[in-house]
Amino acid sequence: MKFFVDTADVDAIAELNELGFADGVTTNPSLILKSGRDILEVTKEICAMIDGPVSAEVVALKADDMIAEGRKLAKIADNIAVKVPLTWDGLKACKVLSGEGKMVNVTLCFSASQALLAAKAGATFVSPFIGRLDDINIDGLDLIEEIRTIYDNYAFKTEVLAASIRSVNHVSECAKIGSDVVTAPPEVLKKLAQHALTDKGLAAFMKDWEKTGQNIL
């Protein structure tokens, strides 16, 4: 499963990239606002940091304008994935941009039927939002399972890019289901390494090692 880092914070991306945990990056208008950076500048910087896809989102709402914005974003670097919302206009833009050979990430997906349309429109990635479904008491992981089944039924090449990841459980469950990618905030990716028994066991090892009076170096 690929890990994409869901942030426009270049320092956080660099830290995870050093460990090989940044197979890609996703941004959106809210993450750009949070970064305090210019979208074109920060996106160019991120594209130069990692080899994998970097999703940059259009902000237009009409297909023609989305296409114009998408073409401009795609010129930033070869690893740009143009992010468009899962609306009728977004699907039109997806069809045109993917037809031009550009990677397209169709985002704000909340149903299997939406994901089916994204695949048929030529999306490279579809981004179903788990956490926001959980927020309204709908199990977002069920959607990942539904999309996985549909895509496998018809051998769609569109990759499932699970988004709105809020917990370690979201990541592990997505891996069990077979999501191609999870995009998670840096803090969630770092939490994957944490377990209380690991800390407890290490403390016990250190305590016993100290009693040996030995050193390795």
Residue whose entry in the numeric block shows the structure tokens 């994204």? 118
Residue 6 found at the interface with ligand G3P (CB under 6 A)? yes
Count of residues of this chain found to bind ligand G3P when the rule CB under 6 A is applied: 10
Neighbours of 12 (CB within 10 A): 19
Choose between 91 and 163: whose C-beta lies nearer to ligand G3P.
Answer: 163
Distance in Å from the first CA to the final CA of the chain: 38
Give the one residue of 21, 110, 129, 156 binding ligand G3P; rule: CB under 6 A. Answer: 129
CA distance 94 to 55: 13
Choose between 68 and 166: whose C-beta lies nearer to ligand G3P.
Answer: 166
* Catalytic entry in 44, 72, 83, 102: 83
E strands, the chain, are: 2-6, 24-26, 54-57, 80-85, 103-109, 125-128, 159-162, 181-184
Q: Which residue is nearest to ligand G3P (CB)?
A: 164
Residue 131 found at the interface with ligand G3P (CB under 6 A)? yes
Residue 183 found at the interface with ligand G3P (CB under 6 A)? yes
Choose between 144 and 152: whose C-beta lies nearer to ligand G3P.
Answer: 144
Residue 212 CB, shortest distance to ligand G3P, in Å, is 47
C-beta of residue 160 within 8 angstroms of C-beta of residue 126: yes
Nearest to 182 by CA among 215, 210, 146, 144: 144
Q: Enter the tokens of residue 43.
A: 């996106």
The interface with ligand G3P within residues 134-163 (CB under 6 A) comprises 163
Any catalytic annotation for residue 83?
A: yes
Give the one residue of 3, 13, 17, 28 binding ligand G3P; rule: CB under 6 A. Answer: 28
Exposed (0-12), middle (13-18) or buried (19+): which is 146, by Cβ within 10 Å?
middle
Mark the segment that binds ligand G3P (CB under 6 A) among 88-96, 124-132, 152-160, 196-204. Answer: 124-132
| Catalytic residue IDs | 83
Q: Which residues bind ligand G3P (CB under 6 A)?
A: 6, 26, 28, 129, 131-132, 163-164, 166, 183
